[in-house]
Structure 1
Amino acid sequence: MAQAHDNDAPRAQAFDPLSQPELFDGLRTKRIFAFFIDTIAIILLTCVAAVVIFFVGIFTLGLGWLAYAFLWQGVALLYTAFTLGGPASATPGMRAMGLEMRLWHGGRMYPLLAAVHLVLFWISVSVITPFVLLVSLFSDRKRLLHDIILGTLVINTPANGPLA
């Protein structure tokens, strides 16, 4: 007979906005500023990568220059996967604004989910452009469409530091 494990038990949703409103105060504004900070960081990293690709292209007789076609997408994907999917569950912009991203049950992000989150963000922004922020007005946890689809949420980092 199989034993029930802790992993098999249904998990309650973590971070209730009614009992923990401080986790959701000012979230939309902080998230927008975090986006701009991360965009600047990605632009700077893309410039550095462009210089590296230029020299790689010289040594590979132009073959390396093919990497320019997907340069910014690749930099953004790696940046997000290794920062949002890292131990802090936050990009540098999110950390600067005191935010972190969690799974619906309170678990931490991981690199593959962070990369999928970015791709869904790109798709949602491409399809419903500025209206992507409107979804958060109707969500009790101020989540965006791609957050809801993936079961993630952004919260303010608690005053006693990042959650374990």
Structure 2
Amino acid sequence: MLSSDPLAGVRTRRIVALALDLVLVSILATVIWIALLILTLGLSLFLLPPLYPLIAFFYNGLTVSGRKMATPGMRALGLEMRMHEDGARVPFINAAAHALFFYLSWFFPPIFLVSLVDPEKRCLHDMLAGVTVVRRV
């Protein structure tokens, strides 16, 4: 179990980091959507709606499993994600699963209240993916 220092202020920082990351993913998805729309002369219009979740999945998976262990929003707020059991770097599959579980959690928002009762401030999607978000040391 982690001490309280690496967990101080994590919830608030995660909310702000999420807002930053949603803006970045939205910009990235819009640019890619417009580029694909132009390149295919509008023929890809019906294939593009699932683009946002696909970009969000890879955005989280690649950035969290990368060498900085955080999305750009998390890095801006001094957070990083680690494996819960041993504090190791998060593999791509866990980071991508974390994103998937997070976006599925939006269908039932009370799930986010789990972090209020968990002593390690972990959300349910963190527990399912086996990760912990801590302040960068």
- Whichever of the two has the greater Rg, that structure is 1
Task: Give the total of aligned pairs.
Answer: 136
Change (3 A) 1:100 1:70: same
Question: Is the aligned partner of 1:107 residue 2:88?
Answer: yes
Question: Is the aligned partner of 1:26 residue 2:5?
Answer: no
C-alpha distance in 2, partners of 1:73/1:150? Answer: 18
Question: How many angstroms does 1:65 deviate by?
Answer: 2.9
Match of 1:147 in 2: 126
In the TM superposition, 1:1-164 aligns within 5 A as: 16-17=1-2, 20-58=3-41, 62=43, 64-104=44-84, 105-126=86-107, 128-129=108-109, 131-158=110-137
Could you give the per-residue CA deviations for residues 88-141 of structure 1, whole angstroms, max 9, x where no partner exists? 110000000000001011111122211111111112221x21x23310111111
C-alpha distance in 2, partners of 1:121/1:133? Answer: 9
C-alpha distance in 1, partners of 2:83/2:6? Answer: 14
Question: How many angstroms does 1:87 deviate by?
Answer: 1.3
Q: Which segments of 5 or more consecutive residues in structure 2 lack a partner in the other structure?
A: none
Q: Which segments of 5 or more consecutive residues in structure 1 lack a partner in the other structure?
A: 1-15, 159-164
SS in 1 for 2:67: coil
C-alpha distance in 1, partners of 2:11/2:74? Answer: 12
Residue identity over aligned pairs, in percent, reads 32
Question: How many angstroms does 1:50 deviate by?
Answer: 1.1
RMSD across aligned C-alpha pairs, in angstroms?
A: 1.4
Match of 1:10 in 2: none
Question: How many angstroms does 1:74 deviate by?
Answer: 1.3
C-alpha distance in 2, partners of 1:66/1:113? Answer: 30
1:53–1:67: 8 Å Cα contact kept in structure 2? no
* Structure with more contact order per residue of length (Cα contacts < 8 Å, sep ≥ 6): 2
TM-score by length of structure 2 reads 0.92
Structure 1 stretches (4+) deviating beyond 6 angstroms?
none
TM-score by length of structure 1 reads 0.77
1:89–1:109: 8 Å Cα contact kept in structure 2? yes
Question: How many angstroms does 1:82 deviate by?
Answer: 1.2
